A and B are shown apart, each in its own frame.
Chain A
Amino acid sequence: AAGVIQSPRHLIKEKRETATLKCYPIPRHDTVYWYQQGPGQDPQFLISFYEKMQSDKGSIPDRFSAQQFSDYHSELNMSSLELGDSALYFCASSSLQYNEQFFGPGTRLTVL
């Protein structure tokens, strides 16, 4: 079965640079979620989109923005990167009918 796709899988950036993470949800899933997970931490919810509109917002810094496109893929844009932004970033998707979230493999972001 098709799963959530994330790219890139690994990303290394310098402080103050920008990064863009991409997420392709499971086909026919209309909701996308973004999470940040630091070492030894549980996933922290950042933001979600339903039918290309922002549906919920969590602990997403103002330096980050995201959107969902007409083909339902989503991008997380991160600017003015800080050392503390180093983490695993997961995207998950779900359908309106079933609220189970399925996670992608994640993007490991390292900020030097």
Chain B
Amino acid sequence: QKEVEQNSGPLSVPEGAIASLNCTYSDRGSQSFFWYRQYSGKSPELIMSIYSNGDKEDGRFTAQLNKASQYVSLLIRDSQPSDSATYLCAVTNRDDKIIFGKGTRLHILP
């Protein structure tokens, strides 16, 4: 089992709709969870951090964490064409080492 798993996509979402990105992780000792956005040829940009169960909202972004299910998600409301990118889920394992998923490609349809 891979440490951090994401659906590679592409995930196509109509403009204005909600995009839902999912990530599962294997290490029950994980404490920190991050979502990065990466445009092609550019560096990953941290958009959300979440450390406790529940929801965390920041503008159009909501991160959801369920440690019992080892599941973290990112919701993007009112999706815009500029949201089209690869979204990387990252999780710190019990050794506090960050592990990246392979990313989900999101395509917002105008």
Binding site for B on A (CB under 8 A): 33, 41-43, 45, 56, 88, 90, 99-106, 108
Contacts and interface: CB of A to CB of B under 8 A. Distances in A.
Contact of B43 (A56, A100, A104): A104
B41 to A, nearest CB: 7
Contacts of B49: 100
Interface string B56-70: 000000000000000
Given A56-B97, A99-B96, A100-B49, A90 B103 contact: no
A101 B98 contact: yes
A108 to B, nearest CB: 8
B27 to A, nearest CB: 15
B77 to A, nearest CB: 23
11 contacts: A42-B100, A42-B101, A42-B103, A43-B44, A43-B88, A43-B100, A99-B32, A101-B34, A103-B36, A103-B44, A105-B42
A100 B103 CA distance: 18
A88 B40 CA distance: 11
Contacts of B97: 45, 56
